[in-house]
Amino acid sequence: MRSNHEIDYRIFGEEMQYVEVELDPNETAIAEPGAFMMMDDGIQMQTLFGDGSTQQNNSLLGKLFNAGKRVLVGESLFMTAFTNVSNNKKHVSFASPYPGKIIMLDLLRLNGKIICQKDAFLCAAKGVSIGIEFQRKLGTGLFGGEGFIMEKLEGDGFAFLHASGYVQERELQPGELLKVDTGCIVGFTASVDYDIQFVGGIKNTLFGGEGLFFATLRGPGKVWIQSLPVSRLAGRILAYGTYKRKEEGSILGGIGNILDGDGWK
């Protein structure tokens, strides 16, 4: 039996996806600011301090504490609630902020808790609690990088994550170990043990081109891995924009610039 709002949904698109949520009268969906795409007439928007879940401490101090933890990882103090105030079914849609996939998680079937990257949450049924999962291990805290502070989603409703690139879902058996780049983790169930491990080897450290540390995920449980973290994509784009192309100054470079439109300026 669900205590969270029970919503229906459809996911549209391939590389640039959005999710359409169907709300019955008085049903509510919550979303991060900026995720909204479109909605039917009859849906009312309301800004919430925190996530509006029943699991939150309803006192002012409790709300400040829960919302303040989100600020530590660059998230907004506020979320937006979309409530169907009409007498008919209505639809509201939320879009992924970059190319990739939207993942639906039924928290009721996942033992009520998912841990995910701090920027992966897109939207959820009202009643799902969105909080911060601090990693307790010293090594994880010192060297975890992107994976140090993660979000946790708790409840028994539907939640939607967005990931960059291709998404692989893995079911880890008890004791099975998976080594992953910290930025490639989308999320995992609470039963999965998460830690940080040193890559090791002087050549790996100096010349490997990867980070000094990677995440280890030990089963049992489910994990979701993305092939192209948006931070990696942004880094490559930034690097490309700050160095001169190798062919610049050559005949090929001149032709390339003409084809690019630079030669006509």
Q: When comparing pLDDT for 192 and 54, which is higher?
A: 192
Distances (CA, A) of 197 to 141, 200, 203, 206: 12, 9, 17, 17
The two structure tokens encoding residue 83: 């409530």
How does pLDDT run across 154-183, given as a tens digit for each residue?
999 999 999 998 999 999 999 999 999 888
Partners of 22 in beta bridges? 8, 91
The full set of domains in the chain, from first to last, is 8-242 (3.60.160.10)
Distances (CA, A) of 193 to 133, 156, 216: 13, 22, 8
Q: What is the pLDDT of residue 230?
A: 79
The fraction of the chain above a pLDDT of 90, given in percent, is 46
Of the listed ranges 10-14, 240-244, 251-255, the one predicted with least confidence: 251-255
Q: What is the pLDDT of residue 99?
A: 87
Q: What is the pLDDT of residue 138?
A: 46
For 136-203, the DSSP string reads: -SHHHHHH-GGGSEEEEEESSSEEEEEEES-EEEEEEPTT-EEEE-GGGEEEEETTSEEEEEE---HH
Q: What is the pLDDT of residue 43?
A: 98
Q: What is the pTM of this model?
A: 0.77
- Over residues 191-212, the mean pLDDT reads 67
CA-based angle 166:14:112, to the nearest 5? 60
How does pLDDT run across 19-50, given as a tens digit for each residue?
999 999 999 999 988 899 999 999 999 988 76
Beta strand segments in 64-128, E:
78-84, 90-95, 100-106, 113-116, 121-125
Rounded CA-CA distance 171/257 in Å is 49
Rounded CA-CA distance 217/1 in Å is 31
The two structure tokens encoding residue 96: 């992924």
Q: What is the pLDDT of residue 58?
A: 52
- Backbone phi and psi for residue 143, each to the nearest 5 degrees, phi listed first: -125, 5
Q: What is the pLDDT of residue 145?
A: 47
pLDDT at 261 > cutoff 90 = no
